[in-house]
């Protein structure tokens, strides 16, 4: 039997309409535009409406990706949603909610929890399902309403995050030139408490006490996370490039998870990438966790910069800790 490969066919994103600037945050907590800009590179982020949920954002991004893949809703045979801000804490999954909103039923739909690395994990799963012939067209989504799990009284985290969604269709192909070249995903649970929502799970069930402690919101050991992120990402990406004998000169776009400008510029410098190769959206959107990479790919696409056969190098790092990198040609059906 001929081998089947997985191709990255299309992308879409959705950005909520409410903008939150650093100046707005100055009025909410003891911070300044100068501190946020210097330490993170973030200027603005977008916030979903009260009645907009993670699946609303995800479904809107997904619709665009499906249309751009020239597929009908019925052609999608699997939905994987990466999120840390699901519509419902335990069930149903946000992927099921997205499926309902898209009018897709009788298809496997599930969420994965890999924090900011979620999109690369979802991509790896889509690739595996396609290569094993269990699916032909997998819809992968990174969608986050982080504003719902951010502690708006904690200046060390609330300035960092934003809401948004990105989606992609990964499809089967027999043409090896179109195929995703390689993906690496990994994790180290020893760092579980560096980036955590400590309350309202089974280890500390929702209670008056956990609510009072703001335990259901994101807590981060920012500085320690920063150091591990830069080191891990640099090593991980170098390994992926070496394993596939690919020089950074062949990479058209380096699209890292957008957590902090200082992290992505340190990694880009360590990899000796040119400024023109590095995609930066963190200034506009802040950190949108699993959505940041597909949102950045979508911006490139909508700006007309992403062309068929362009080679994308993706990397991400997040809570868990989890991390991953991927070498992905853009292979739309034309």
Question: Which string of DSSP letters, residue by residue, matches 127-196?
Answer: HHHHHTTS-SEEEEEEEEEGGGTS-TT-HHHHTTB-EEEEEEEEEEES-GGGB--EEEEEE-GGGTTTEE
In sequence order, which residues have a C-beta less than 8 Å from that of residue 78 and are 6 or more positions away?
Answer: 107, 108, 109, 126, 129, 134, 135, 137, 138, 139
The closest residue (CB) to ligand COA is 222
Angle 223-225-227 from CA coordinates, rounded to 5°: 75
Active-site annotation holds for 206? no
Tokens 């149903």 locate to 92
Using the minimum distance from each CB to ligand COA, give the nearer residue, 10 or 225. Answer: 225
Characterise 164 by phi-psi region: left (phi > 0), alpha (psi -120 to 50), beta (else).
Answer: left
The rounded distance, in Å, linking the Cα atoms of 65 and 59 is 10
Q: Applying CB under 6 A, which of residues 4, 33, 35, 248 lies at the interface with ligand COA?
A: 35
Told to check if 287 binds ligand COA by CB under 6 A, we report yes
β-pairing verdict for 195-196 and 219-220: antiparallel
Active-site annotation holds for 116? yes
Only one of the segments 140-148, 225-233, 295-303, 305-313 lies at the binding site for ligand COA (rule: CB under 6 A); that segment is 225-233
Using the minimum distance from each CB to ligand COA, give the nearer residue, 94 or 225. Answer: 225
Which member of 116, 158, 216, 260 is catalytic?
116
Told to check if 31 binds ligand COA by CB under 6 A, we report yes
Q: Applying CB under 6 A, which of residues 10, 22, 40, 85 lies at the interface with ligand COA?
A: 40
Quote the least distance from Cβ 210 to ligand COA, whole Å: 22
The rounded distance, in Å, linking the Cα atoms of 238 and 248 is 9
Active-site annotation holds for 214? no
Q: Applying CB under 6 A, which of residues 14, 285, 317, 323 lies at the interface with ligand COA?
A: 317
Question: Which residues in 84-143 contact ligand COA (CB under 6 A)?
Answer: 116
Which member of 22, 96, 216, 257 is catalytic?
257
User: Would you name the residues annotated as active-site residues?
Assistant: 116, 257, 287
- Interface positions with ligand COA (CB under 6 A): 31, 35-36, 39-40, 116, 155-156, 159, 195, 222-223, 225-226, 229, 259-260, 263, 287, 317-318
């Amino acid at each position: 039997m001929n081998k089947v490969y997985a191709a990255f066919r299309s992308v879409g994103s959705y950005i909520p309409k409410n903008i939150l600037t650093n100046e707005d945050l100055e009025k909410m907590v003891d911070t300044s535009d100068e501190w946020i800009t210097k330490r993170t590179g973030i200027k603005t982020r977008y916030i979903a409406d009260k009645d907009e949920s993670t699946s609303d954002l995800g479904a809107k991004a997904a619709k665009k990706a499906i249309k751009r893949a020239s597929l009908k809703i019925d052609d999608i045979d699997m939905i994987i949603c990466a999120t840390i801000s699901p519509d419902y804490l335990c069930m149903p999954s946000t992927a099921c909610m997205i499926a309902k909103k898209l009018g897709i039923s009788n298809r496997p739909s599930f969420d994965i929890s890999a924090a900011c690395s979620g999109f690369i994990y979802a991509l790896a799963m889509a690739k595996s399902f396609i290569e094993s012939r269990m699916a032909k067209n997998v819809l992968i989504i990174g969608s986050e309403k982080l504003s719902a799990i951010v502690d708006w009284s904690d200046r060390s985290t609330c300035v960092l995050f934003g809401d948004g969604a990105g989606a992609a269709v990964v499809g089967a192909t027999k043409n090896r030139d179109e195929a995703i070249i390689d993906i690496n995903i990994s994790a180290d649970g020893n760092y579980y408490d560096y980036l955590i929502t400590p309350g309202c799970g089974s280890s500390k069930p929702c209670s008056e006490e956990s609510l009072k402690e703001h335990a259901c919101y994101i807590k981060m050991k920012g500085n320690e996370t920063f150091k591990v992120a830069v080191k891990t990402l640099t090593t991980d990406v170098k390994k992926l490039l070496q394993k596939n004998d690919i020089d950074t000169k062949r990479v058209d776009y380096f699209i890292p998870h957008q957590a902090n400008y200082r992290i992505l510029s340190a990694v880009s410098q360590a990899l000796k990438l040119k400024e023109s190769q590095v995609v930066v959206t963190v200034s506009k959107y802040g950190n949108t966790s699993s959505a940041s990479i597909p949102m950045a790919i979508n911006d490139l696409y909508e700006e007309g910069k992403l062309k068929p056969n362009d080679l994308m190098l993706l990397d991400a790092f997040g809570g868990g800790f989890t991390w991953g990198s991927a070498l992905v040609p853009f292979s739309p059906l034309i």
